[in-house]
Amino acid sequence: MSGLRRLLGAPGGLLGVALLAAFLLAALLAPLAFPGDPQAIAGPPLLRPFADAAWPLGTDRLGRDVAAELAHGARTSLAVGLVAAAAALALGSLVGTLSGFAGGVLDEMLMRITEAFQTVPGFLLALAFVSSVGPSLAVLSAAIALAAWTGPARLARAEVLSIRARDYVAAARVAGMHPVEIALREVLPNALPPVLALASVIVAQAILAEAALSFLGLGDPNRVTWGGMIAEGRTVLRSAPFLSIVPGLALVAAVLGVHLTGEAAVEAQAARRSLA
């Protein structure tokens, strides 16, 4: 409870949690609030927002309900953001832990691979990957994770290296624990928290990367995505600016919410640590 209070008390924490909550609510409630296919053609095309109560945010080029698309788009953004971040963190922690724990040749090899990935512009890698495999939600998430796992990997390795030298690991070793067990039981849980602190940044980056890929025409056409909405809306950017402004604002709000909450969480944790 006091953790949450501290979170809300941190600068921007309240705003961040509010934005994030709105984002999550929209994503969770979309099927209830807007049942049926959000891509269904529901009304006359290019209706402006607030002009008709049936379509509060207006309709797009084909007459699809922008409000429904926006809510369902939150689901997609959230899904891509979470899946990509989870995959990037899992892969990164695994590689980092392995590398830091094993040392020697394996460490050298894994770090070379990490370096190779860091040398290649991440977005370019994602672009080529999606073009190669074909855009679907899973492929987009994988592509984004592929471009984002190196940060967590390096951090995890650094943490593992510092933890490995600590007393309780040495104690476990003396007690005859299997190295794999030591890695999983003793080292990983302690190395993980700082890596997880990266989560909010990666989620935010993943949401933005998905939008940029959709903008370049590499989105999943069977799902509504905010990036895809912006991409479609930009052809009528001057005639019907709301079509790209509305999802653009949603994108900024969601990413801001993730950032603010993440930051406040880190600060709250730091405050707790300094109190302890």
Least distance from other proteins to the Cβ atom of residue 176, Å = 34
What phi, psi does 132 have (nearest 5°)? Answer: -70, -45
Nearer to other proteins by Cβ, of 88 and 182: the residue is: 88
Least distance from other proteins to the Cβ atom of residue 16, Å = 9
The residues that touch other proteins, with contacts defined as CB under 8 A, are 11-12, 37, 39-41, 45-46, 61-63, 112-113, 115-116, 118-129, 131-135, 147, 204, 208, 211-212, 215-222, 227, 230, 234-240, 244, 248, 251-253, 255-256, 259-260, 263
Least distance from other proteins to the Cβ atom of residue 235, Å = 4
Nearer to other proteins by Cβ, of 177 and 271: the residue is: 271
How far lies 18's CA from each of 1, 25, 85, 124, 202, in Å? 17, 10, 21, 34, 20
Q: Where are the alpha helices (DSSP H) in 34-65?
A: none
Nearer to other proteins by Cβ, of 160 and 182: the residue is: 160
Instruction: Show the tokens assigned to 114.
Output: 């990490």
What whole-number distance in Å separates Cα of residue 97 and Cα of residue 81? 23
Least distance from other proteins to the Cβ atom of residue 151, Å = 8
Burial of 274 (0-12, 13-18, 19+ CB in 10 A): exposed
Task: Give kind and range of the element (H or E) at residue 255.
Answer: helix 242-275
Nearer to other proteins by Cβ, of 27 and 211: the residue is: 211
Task: Give kind and range of the element (H or E) at residue 90.
Answer: helix 66-102
Nearer to other proteins by Cβ, of 23 and 101: the residue is: 23
Residues 6+ apart with CB under 8 A from 94: none
Is 114 within 8 Å of 243 (Cβ atoms)?
no
Instruction: Show the tokens assigned to 110.
Output: 């894994």
Least distance from other proteins to the Cβ atom of residue 123, Å = 3
Least distance from other proteins to the Cβ atom of residue 72, Å = 14
Least distance from other proteins to the Cβ atom of residue 167, Å = 26
3-class DSSP state for residue 41?
strand
CA nearest to 245, candidates 58, 54, 5? 58
Nearer to other proteins by Cβ, of 159 and 220: the residue is: 220
Nearer to other proteins by Cβ, of 83 and 251: the residue is: 251
Least distance from other proteins to the Cβ atom of residue 95, Å = 14
Nearer to other proteins by Cβ, of 21 and 62: the residue is: 62
What whole-number distance in Å separates Cα of residue 228 and Cα of residue 230? 5
What whole-number distance in Å separates Cα of residue 228 and Cα of residue 97? 37
